[in-house]
Structure 1
């Protein structure tokens, strides 16, 4: 694989992870650690199709099965079922239900963000899977401008809706005062 392709994929993967984390943390009731893990894992999950052997063919190709709303709904239902089972074993009623819903919602917004971003790209996604058809407006969602915009909006969500970025500003202040003790 050539260097340009590796750089493109690295930035695309990082973008899907950052957007997933921002949405999971910014719009659900999950905690910082849980939101980060759910955002990263489910923000990247549709690209698990890169791990399929090439000779498997359709629908195990990039933007096949894993890039469909049917796949996303199945995954979110599975997350909800696992979360309900975990909450039930711990004997938690009300708090467990809230946490279960928040966990499933965080997984849903993270995986949904990936599908939404990729659906806008020229290749599109499989909206009607298992019917093999894709539609897209053909936007350059993984280009420099769109990537910068996605990262900026994600960081703004984290800054506005969570306290996740407070640690970064504290670190910056501590580092600055270490260099300039007179402050």
Structure 2
């Protein structure tokens, strides 16, 4: 075990690839290990926002902008895990909207699997007006609310300040922009 806290435990091994080059990898543990949350914050008369976390990542020796993410505990469904992680890391109470399939996080070096779960937070709910997060206290992190239509631009601005961006949220932001451009410029395939 290389790293062990209440949030994460990592066991690594060295394997040779097809070219006999050694690579560090993590063993397959079976099933889905963790969930990453794509959280949309809605409040009347405000822009729809994506909830992200800014925190220091010691593995990268840098600050990261990332989706709330956590390990699925024993006897917990991905949905229950998502609700718990959202509350622990942001203080928000939210509802699960969709549960994605089990995905390989980094197939070339890890046996970890995760699910992306989309959630909605009602910003007008009184429970979400005075949030208290374990995340900001434990990690000196910050909760970010970024308007959906500004997401890619804001992420690019963070990279210019040398922050590291979670690849899942970056891919989502690029998809939003490309989808919007395609919708404006191309007829439907079903036309």
Q: Which is richer in strand?
A: 2
Rg (Cα) greater in structure? 1
Higher-helix-fraction structure:
1
- Which TM class, normalised by the smaller chain length? under 0.3
When normalised by structure 1's length, the TM-score is 0.25
